[in-house]
Chains A and B, each alone.
Chain A
């Protein structure tokens, strides 16, 4: 009767809230060059990088504000396979992978609560 081999712990599973690739891991810090780097070659570079970062921040903020503005409003989602559905937008998850919606109007009936996979959405529109 052989004794089973002991293990310290089980392998860590995926984080349900993120896609991983921890930016604080030693490997990431050592290997990842970002468009924003702390050491720049010339002043022009640093100005360009600063401008790029401003533009990125502005776009990101606008996007987040649209999500807030959409809350509890009727939104039309245009998706792949010529799918066009209406729903009341609830919330997005942190990585914008899923949208939580209510009263999703589908060809086979109204779904009270649903999750829309963001990668399937081509565009969405709503009235302010």
Chain B
């Protein structure tokens, strides 16, 4: 029997949520970090949305946030011209990396030894976290503010998307451009899937999938509204997208068919990401909330519990709906 999706709303932020990221799966589950214009990024338990802590220290809107695979380190990019590295267990600030302009994006290498940053000063920087006082390696070339910079190809290359309507692939050692994609409009988001080397790019109403190594186009899908962010399921059977019309869309990746759309947010959706186990996806909105959505509605997982109203469950007791 088909069940209706009940999203879980995570409140706490007081301004729009502009970025979110999941950690890998750790012995303590997986975690979620949210970047918010209120300057206070939050760490949450990934499968329940329970708040764990708030990283305090930034003096401006936080535009980007990320966790390392083990969820032991967090990094944030903010409008106060700094990127910060945090201990994600204690919540303590570990490093402040001063920049010359608003920082928009942060990304750890697989071994968490280096941090990639990008922002309004149009320069990609690579910091060695173990030698923070050393000058970062700089990669220039973009002619407008960088929106997102991500490690790819086993941390040997870098993918960057900027307001100059290009996505560029750089070699880390030579800092030269390997390949470039040009668009008619600014790219709104970018997601890199290492397993299978897939790059998910959104622009206008389009969700596009590229081979991350060759930057060859795999396919594009058009949505009913302007899309701000999309995410591909780890098994590559679904992808989800959200944008200007406040809705979340779920598509079949192979057939490009729109499977479901969900209302719930009270503002445009700025970011959406699948959890590392693919069981749920999280969305962040202009309305200041994060929402968790089940991939398979009806499955018992996290805080969702499948209760069939007709049946008598658990020694004949009647269940109450708890919403």
A residues near B (Cβ < 8 Å) are 2-15, 19-23, 25-28, 31-32, 80, 97, 119-120
Contact = CB atoms under 8 A, between A and B. Distances in A.
A9 B276 CA distance: 23
A87 B51 CA distance: 35
In the A-B complex, the 6 residue pairs with the closest CB atoms: A20-B53, A11-B49, A21-B91, A21-B53, A2-B4, A5-B6
A21 B304 contact: no
A3 B3 contact: yes
Contacts of B298: 5
A27 B44 CA distance: 13
Given A97-B56, A119-B59, A28 B3 contact: no
Contact of B91 (A3, A4, A19, A26): A19
Q: Which of A14, A15, A26, A28 gathers the greatest number of chain B CB atoms within 10 Å?
A: A14
Contacts of A119: 56-57, 59
Nearest to B320: A6
A4 B322 CA distance: 10
Given A2-B2, A21-B52, 10 more contacts: A4-B4, A5-B297, A7-B6, A7-B323, A20-B53, A31-B72, A32-B89, A32-B90, A97-B56, A119-B59
B8 A11 contact: yes
14 contacts: A6-B304, A6-B307, A6-B319, A7-B6, A9-B303, A9-B322, A11-B9, A12-B50, A13-B10, A13-B12, A14-B42, A23-B90, A31-B89, A120-B59
A6 B6 contact: yes
A4 B6 CA distance: 6
B5 interface: yes
Interface in B271-310: 292, 294, 297-298, 303-307, 309
Nearest to B44: A11
Contacts of B43: 20-21
A28 B90 contact: yes
Interface in B1-40: 1-6, 8-12, 28
Contact of B1 (A3, A25, A120): A3
B4 A11 contact: no
A5 B305 CA distance: 7
Contacts of A15: 51
B112 interface: no
B51 A19 contact: no
Contact of A6 (B54, B59, B321): B321
B6 to A, nearest CB: 4
Contacts of A3: 1, 3-4, 309
A5 B53 contact: no
